[in-house]
Chains A and B, each alone.
Chain A
Amino acid sequence: MIRDITIGQYYPAESRIHRLDPRVKIVCTLLFLVSLFIQNSLLGYVIATVYLGTVIRLSKVPLKYIVKGLKPIVILLLFTVAMNLFLTRSGEILVHFWIFTITEGGLRTSVFMAIRLMYLVAGSSIMTFTTSPNGLTDGMEKLLHPLNRLNVPVHEVAMMMSIALRFIPILLEETDKIMKAQQARGADFESGNIIQRAKAMVPILVPLFVSAFRRANDLAMAMESRCYHGGEGRTKMKPLRYKGRDRIAYIVTWLYIVVIFVAGRFVPFKLWIF
């Protein structure tokens, strides 16, 4: 049910990808996302597929999980594909019926766009699957550290993020529990029209908000009683340090960027219209 939402969730496993420094994963993910936009050719996507496939394979996260994470963007995906498919007018006309016209260019753009979108989501979800929320914010904090000089409260923002992330599974579990408790009192969430269904949410939302505030209060109290006072002078128990494998990951990813840029732009490789 609610637990099936996989996007942005950590998948615990022992793998090479899991062991990488979070900073590496953040930077490499960004590079991968950029790589999807600096080229637009069949060969480029083949190379991106190889890279992404290898990372997924190494991460030991089941492909099923990643596919499940794509579910939320299905509608966006269909919309984009339809828009590109019917509205792009370039090249020869492939199909024409009633008011719809599909051109070579339209088919090409929509297929590439769909792959791009799916890879964007898959690429970033592999990062969240293999990095614990805490690791992620630690990495973020360290990467953005230079912004401190511009008076950006980097540590505070990172702390807020890690708390928010930490609370997602807790609140999901809480929702599940409250839903069950109200169902035990005969609540019905499945039938009725939209207004009735919205009303049926009240017995879930009120206790959920109450408990969120209670938890926030408890947490604030617990932090304060341990003398938390923000980032200044705060040391880390496990400071992030680059190791050999992190350097390898950087090198591989930069190589990938160069290869995809060069191959995607300058190597002529065409199959039919793609």
Chain B
Amino acid sequence: MSIALEHISYIYSPGTAYEKHALKDVSFEIPQGQFLGIIGHTGSGKSTLIQHLNGLVRATSGKVVYEGDNIYDGGYDMRALRSQVGLVFQYPEYQLFEVDVISDVCFGPKNQGLSPEECERNAREALELVGFPEKYYKQSPFELSGGQKRRVAIAGVLAMKPKVLILDEPTAGLDPKGRDEILDQVEKLHTETGMTVILVSHSMEDIARYVERIIVMNRGEKMLDGTPAEVFRHYRELEEVGLAAPQVTYVMHDLRARGFDVSPDATTIEEAAEEILRSMSRSGKAAPG
């Protein structure tokens, strides 16, 4: 019950002026149920990488193994794979096309060959999961706000009941409130359904709060792979490739440099606050400095 990439390399337009090595020998495994963050600078290959996971892009070399089967084997059912590994693209609202919200969400289940009743049931469940208000089910998706459109588009993938959900920059172009809402909803989805969630982003702050594991991509290569705390320990290297650790990491490192007895591994503001309080109570009221 996992997806594994084995030595994946991908070259765009080989043999032309546009030739580009998008991925270089990337390998990792994602166990079922993990909440994974993939992070990287623009052009680091993260979007290309996730399109390998459901077979939309075929690797130039290497293989993708889903639940023990190599998806490049002849006769492998790609459409079945795509309904198990749901991929929500960046700006997914641009893929909406139906006359009303509910029929758009039904598009996926309909392609899976479900009966109209089942389609509708799955669609309603999915819309509920993303917290989309029922009174708008019959509205045209083009009349909704940006955040709501995005919910509908995410529901469109969830309605296929995938075991793995991949979200490519789900918060791009949303205001802070919309961003938090979407991410909270995604986290809730993960805890409630136990599905594997892969969150792609270039914002460390977004990712650090939610995921259990982070993979850092740089120029088509896997640069770091570990828990948020492990990854953020390399914050100097992250800076070199144009990324940054969350603000609190810097605060904690600075505090430590000035003699406070704090662990620099806190990745969220809440953790940091706790850690600072703990350190202060440990050392009594008199903090050094």
Residues of A within 8 A of B (CB): 3, 11-13, 62, 65, 174, 177-178, 180-188, 202-203, 206-207, 210-211
Contact = CB atoms under 8 A, between A and B. Distances in A.
Given A178-B95, A180-B51, 17 more contacts: A3-B13, A177-B89, A181-B89, A181-B95, A183-B82, A184-B56, A184-B157, A185-B82, A185-B111, A185-B156, A186-B79, A186-B107, A186-B160, A187-B111, A203-B107, A207-B96, A210-B142
Contacts of B79: 186, 188
Given A180-B56, A188-B79, A207-B94, A62 B16 contact: yes
B286 interface: no
Given A177-B89, A185-B107, A188-B79, A207 B17 contact: no
B193 interface: no
B87 interface: yes
30 contacts: A11-B17, A12-B17, A62-B16, A65-B16, A177-B89, A181-B92, A181-B94, A181-B95, A182-B107, A183-B82, A184-B56, A184-B86, A185-B95, A185-B107, A185-B108, A185-B156, A186-B79, A186-B83, A186-B107, A186-B111, A186-B112, A186-B160, A202-B97, A203-B97, A203-B107, A207-B94, A207-B95, A207-B96, A210-B94, A210-B97
Interface in B127-169: 142, 156-157, 160
A13 to B, nearest CB: 6
B61 to A, nearest CB: 19
A188 B89 CA distance: 18
User: Interface range on chain B: under 10, 10 to 19, 20 to 34, or 35 or more?
Assistant: 20 to 34
B95 A182 contact: yes
Nearest to A178: B95
| Chain A residues touching B, majority SS | helix
| Among A182, A185, A203: residue with most chain B CB under 10 A | A185
Contacts, number: 63
Contacts of B92: 181
Contacts of B82: 183-186
Contacts of A181: 89, 92, 94-95
Interface in B103-121: 107-108, 111-112
A180 B108 contact: no
Interface string B8-37: 000001001100000000000000000000
B54 interface: yes
Contacts of A211: 94
A3 B16 CA distance: 12
A179 to B, nearest CB: 9
B76 to A, nearest CB: 15
A185 B160 contact: yes
| Among A62, A65, A182: residue with most chain B CB under 10 A | A182
Contacts of A207: 94-97
A168 to B, nearest CB: 16
B159 to A, nearest CB: 9
Q: Which 5 A-B pairs have the closest CB atoms?
A: A186-B111, A206-B97, A181-B95, A185-B108, A184-B87
A7 to B, nearest CB: 15
